[in-house]
């Protein structure tokens, strides 16, 4: 336990002087989209699971950002790990820029002891980025009749409206009793994603993620009598850095067999970003979550914050007799 908290404090100190921006689409319900966070989570439940995620960011502003994600993963005894698939669609600026992504994931699970599991995940992705060709160029404008002329702009050619590329990512996850810590590196080769291939200057920056936490029974804290059916406290941290963008998320959730309540604070290291409120409910094979990001940055409450919904469906096991244990993951 002492080693875990030393690592937590060290990571917080190391990253506390950095500033914040953003690159990849992100989700506030990190652990409701586990393979997107870290490919080492592929097959962590062993039995197949299907997860769907929806995020609408800044709906109060023109040009909001809407992201859809769907993932499927399952464990395979013969390869000592799991396989996963992620499909993602991101709509930026009300459709001005769209990104489609498909990822295949393999993870290896090594059961070092009854209490320690080491997982390593590897991810291959294909991206396609598209600009909306319905937007107009300045030489199409007539003073009286508006956009009526054909354009001679050299950048209006169709080749400049679409870009595609492949990508590699990897991650490691360690579970020791009720503690978990992991790291993931996305965009290992920093692929070129520029629409102008001749300039070849648009690089997708590497994204580094460090995350961890622990599950604490409320009986140990003496809180059980005050919180009724809630029985587990799960504090967590997540740090992400991509190019000039850095952010840290500190939060915790309280959960019972069916209900989850969570609160987190996200900030860049020069400014606050949002307070995240989470509500989750689990019934049989279904788990649904809703979260709202309350904007506390200078962008203001008028931005509309962000709404996020997740749905997880646990499917029937492929194997009649499961030979591997599941890997612990935060419930909500």
Q: What is the pLDDT of residue 226?
A: 62
Domains of the chain: 2-314 (2.40.160.40)
- CA angle (54, 55, 61) in 5-degree steps: 145
248 SS3 class: strand
Residue 227 CB partners (closer than 8 Å, separation 6+): 218, 254
**Alpha helical stretches, state H, the chain:** 2-15, 34-37, 218-221, 224-227
Structure-block tokens of residue 250: 């500190």
Q: What is the pLDDT of residue 43?
A: 94
- CA angle (107, 112, 115) in 5-degree steps: 105
| Inter-residue contact 305 to 292 (CB < 8 Å) | yes
Q: What is the pLDDT of residue 322?
A: 61
Question: Would you mind telling me the total number of residues written for the chain in this entry?
Answer: 332
Q: What share of the chain is helix, strand, coil (3-state, %, to 5)?
A: 15, 50, 35
| Inter-residue contact 38 to 329 (CB < 8 Å) | no
Q: What is the pLDDT of residue 141?
A: 65
How buried is residue 87: exposed, middle or buried, by Cβ count under 10 Å (0-12/13-18/19+)?
Answer: middle
Distance CA 268, CA 136 (A): 36
Residues in a beta bridge with 186: 207
Q: Report CA dihedral (322, 325, 330, 332) to the nearest 10 degrees.
A: 20
Q: What is the pLDDT of residue 192?
A: 83
| Extended strands (E) in 11-115 | 49-57, 65-76, 81-92, 97-111
Distance CA 330, CA 325 (A): 16
Q: What is the pLDDT of residue 48?
A: 96
Count CB neighbours of 292 within 10 A. 16
160 SS3 class: helix
Q: What is the pLDDT of residue 275?
A: 96
| Inter-residue contact 282 to 313 (CB < 8 Å) | no
Q: Which residues of 211-229 are buried (b: 16+ CB within 10 A; e: fewer)?
A: bbbbbeebeeeeeeeeeee
User: Tens digit of pLDDT per residue, the chain (332 long)?
Assistant: 444 444 443 344 333 333 333 378 989 999 999 999 999 999 999 999 999 999 999 888 877 789 999 999 999 999 999 999 999 999 987 677 899 999 999 999 999 998 899 999 999 999 998 877 665 555 566 666 555 566 655 555 565 678 889 999 999 999 998 999 999 999 999 988 777 655 556 788 999 999 999 999 988 877 766 677 888 999 999 999 998 889 999 999 999 989 999 999 999 888 889 999 999 999 989 999 999 999 998 877 888 899 999 999 999 988 766 656 778 778 77
- CA angle (47, 48, 54) in 5-degree steps: 135
Q: What is the pLDDT of residue 14?
A: 37
Q: What is the pLDDT of residue 1?
A: 45
Q: What is the pLDDT of residue 157?
A: 55
Count CB neighbours of 175 within 10 A. 21
| Inter-residue contact 316 to 45 (CB < 8 Å) | no
């Amino acid at each position: 336990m002492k080693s875990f908290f030393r690592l937590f404090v060290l990571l917080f100190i190391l990253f506390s002087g950095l500033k914040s921006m953003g690159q990849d689409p992100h989700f506030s319900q990190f652990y409701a989209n586990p393979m997107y966070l870290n490919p080492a989570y592929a097959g962590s439940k062993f039995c197949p699971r299907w997860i769907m995620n929806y995020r609408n960011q800044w709906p109060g502003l023109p040009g909001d950002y809407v992201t859809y994600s769907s993932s499927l993963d399952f464990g395979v005894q013969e390869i000592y790990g799991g396989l996963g698939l992620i499909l993602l669609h991101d709509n930026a600026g009300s459709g001005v820029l769209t990104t489609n992504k498909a990822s295949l994931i393999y993870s290896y699970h090594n059961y070092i002891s009854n209490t320690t599991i080491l997982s390593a995940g590897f991810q291959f992705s294909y991206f396609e980025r598209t600009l909306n060709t319905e937007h107009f160029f300045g030489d199409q404008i007539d003073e009286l009749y508006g956009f009526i002329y054909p354009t001679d702009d050299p950048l209006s050619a169709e080749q400049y409206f679409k870009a595609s590329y492949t990508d590699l990512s990897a991650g490691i996850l360690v579970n020791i009793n009720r503690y978990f810590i992991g790291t993931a590196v996305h965009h290992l080769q920093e692929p070129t994603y520029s629409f102008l291939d001749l300039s070849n200057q648009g690089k997708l920056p590497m994204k580094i993620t460090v995350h961890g936490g622990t599950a604490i029974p409320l009986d140990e804290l003496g809180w059980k009598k005050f919180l009724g059916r809630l029985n587990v406290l799960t504090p967590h941290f997540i740090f992400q850095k991509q190019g000039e963008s850095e952010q840290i998320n500190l939060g915790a959730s309280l959960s019972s067999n069916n209900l989850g309540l969570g609160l987190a604070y996200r900030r860049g290291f020069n400014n606050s970003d949002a307070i995240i409120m989470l509500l989750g409910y689990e019934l049989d094979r279904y788990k649904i979550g809703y979260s709202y990001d309350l904007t506390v940055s200078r962008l203001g409450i008028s931005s509309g914050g962000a709404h996020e919904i997740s749905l997880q469906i646990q499917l029937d096991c492929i194997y009649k007799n499961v030979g591997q244990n599941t890997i612990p993951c935060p419930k909500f």
